[in-house]
């Protein structure tokens, strides 16, 4: 539970940093690339003193999954950016958050982790988590006008949904199958190094010059980003890689934290639908973890 809470807090901070980029006129892509190099540096710092870590990493069975996840990170960001421009922020945001359905189904149907211990209350909590994420993400927004020449704009949110779900599923599967306590840091280093190289190649091809003000923004983002994925892996391990419980709780927690931060810091107004979604989110959190809550109070 501790790792889950830390992961939620870090992701809410990530949300606040991204929100501040608009006001500070920080270039998202440049900051993202710097962020990945910062993540690599953070991983190398945690690897200090671990002799042979790189040699073990290159020959490890998880090197290909790590490269695959790195590709998804940078590619998913670009698809999301295009989707925001073409389909709108609201649709893209909902598609991104609803992608948790894929790792949940994968955990239940493929990994089958602790399936026998699930009750109808847990399943109800999963269903409510999906509904709460949808309602909490809905915002009043003027949708862009679609033109036939641009193709099928609904494909972009669908791509965001699929890429986000595949990313979380790949992380869950890798943590369940390949990654152990002693090689989490080197695993993350490979992931972020791959994303950094691809991002740099993209900037070189497009002849993008890095502006100085984007560097510190990327460093701050990188520290939080590395911490986020690190604690996702730790949290999954703490929940025995049970993505069917972990990802709904994580997403619902981020929604609640980000919504609260938006109201307190950015003075955003929540609609009745958003408030209803947050109420359902709290209920879904209880239903997803009521066994642990009861066990905690009995043990106490």
Written as six digits, the tokens of 10 are 């870090």
Q: What is the pTM of this model?
A: 0.76
Output the pLDDT for position 223: 92
Backbone torsion region of residue 151, taken as left when φ is above 0, otherwise alpha when ψ lies between -120 and 50, otherwise beta: left
Inter-helix orientation angle 2-24/28-46, to 10°: 140
Output the pLDDT for position 295: 66
C-alpha radius of gyration, the chain, whole number: 19
b (16+ CB within 10 A) / e for 26-62? bbbbbbbbbbbbbbbebbeebbeeeeebeeebeebeb
Judge whether 73 lies within some domain. yes
The distance from CA 180 to its chain's CA centroid, rounded to whole angstroms, is 20
Which residues, at least 6 apart from 170, have a Cβ–Cβ distance to it below 8 Å? Answer: 65, 68, 69, 72
Which residues, at least 6 apart from 226, have a Cβ–Cβ distance to it below 8 Å? Answer: 38, 39, 42, 43, 188, 192
Which residues, at least 6 apart from 188, have a Cβ–Cβ distance to it below 8 Å? Answer: 39, 43, 226, 229, 230, 233
CA dist., res. 9 & res. 136, Å (int): 18
Judge whether 171 lies within some domain. yes
The domain in which residue 225 lies consists of 2-47+56-143+154-299
Judge whether 34 lies within some domain. yes
Output the pLDDT for position 219: 92
Tokens 């949940």 found at = 104
Name the nearest CA neighbour of 122 among 27, 255, 244: 244
CA dist., res. 274 & res. 293, Å (int): 26
CA dist., res. 35 & res. 148, Å (int): 37
Q: What is the mean pLDDT of each run of 10 residues along the chain (300 residues)?
A: 86 80 79 89 76 54 82 81 64 73 81 73 80 72 51 71 88 81 77 88 83 88 88 84 78 79 77 82 77 63
Helices (H), 206-265: 214-238, 243-265
Judge whether 275 lies within some domain. yes
Neighbours of 204 (CB within 10 A): 9
Judge whether 148 lies within some domain. no
CB 157 within 8 A of CB 96: no
Judge whether 137 lies within some domain. yes
DSSP state of 266: S
Output the pLDDT for position 297: 63
Inter-helix orientation angle 63-87/89-98, to 10°: 150
Judge whether 149 lies within some domain. no
- Into how many domains does the chain fold? 1
Judge whether 234 lies within some domain. yes
CB 75 within 8 A of CB 163: yes
Output the pLDDT for position 52: 52
Length of the chain, in residues: 300
């Amino acid at each position: 539970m501790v790792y889950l809470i830390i992961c939620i807090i870090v992701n809410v901070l990530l949300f606040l940093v991204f929100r501040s980029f608009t006001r500070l006129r920080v270039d998202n892509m440049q900051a993202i690339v710097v962020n990945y190099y910062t993540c690599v540096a953070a991983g190398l710092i945690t690897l200090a003193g671990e002799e042979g870590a790189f040699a073990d990493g290159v020959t490890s069975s998880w090197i290909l999954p790590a490269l695959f996840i790195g590709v998804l990170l940078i590619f998913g960001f670009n698809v999301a950016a295009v989707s925001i421009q073409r389909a709108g922020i609201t649709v893209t945001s909902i598609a991104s958050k609803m992608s948790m359905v894929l790792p949940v189904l994968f955990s239940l149907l493929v990994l089958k982790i602790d399936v026998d211990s699930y009750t109808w209350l847990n399943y109800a909590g999963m269903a409510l988590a999906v509904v709460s994420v949808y309602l909490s993400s809905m915002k009043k927004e003027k949708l862009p006008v679609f033109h036939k020449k641009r193709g099928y704009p609904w494909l972009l949110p669908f791509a965001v949904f699929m890429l986000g779900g595949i990313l979380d599923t790949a992380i869950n599967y890798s943590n369940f199958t390949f990654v152990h306590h002693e090689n989490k840091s080197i695993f993350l280093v490979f992931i972020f190094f791959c994303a950094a190289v691809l991002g740099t190649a993209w900037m070189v091809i497009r002849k993008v010059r890095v502006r100085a003000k984007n560097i510190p923004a990327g460093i701050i983002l990188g520290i939080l980003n590395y911490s986020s994925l690190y604690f996702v892996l730790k949290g999954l391990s703490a929940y025995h890689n049970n993505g069917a419980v972990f990802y709904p709780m994580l997403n619902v927690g981020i929604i609640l934290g980000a919504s609260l931060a938006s109201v307190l810091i950015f003075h955003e107004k929540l609609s009745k639908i958003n408030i209803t979604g947050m109420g359902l989110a709290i209920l879904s959190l209880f239903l997803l973890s009521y066994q642990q809550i009861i066990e905690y109070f009995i043990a106490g």
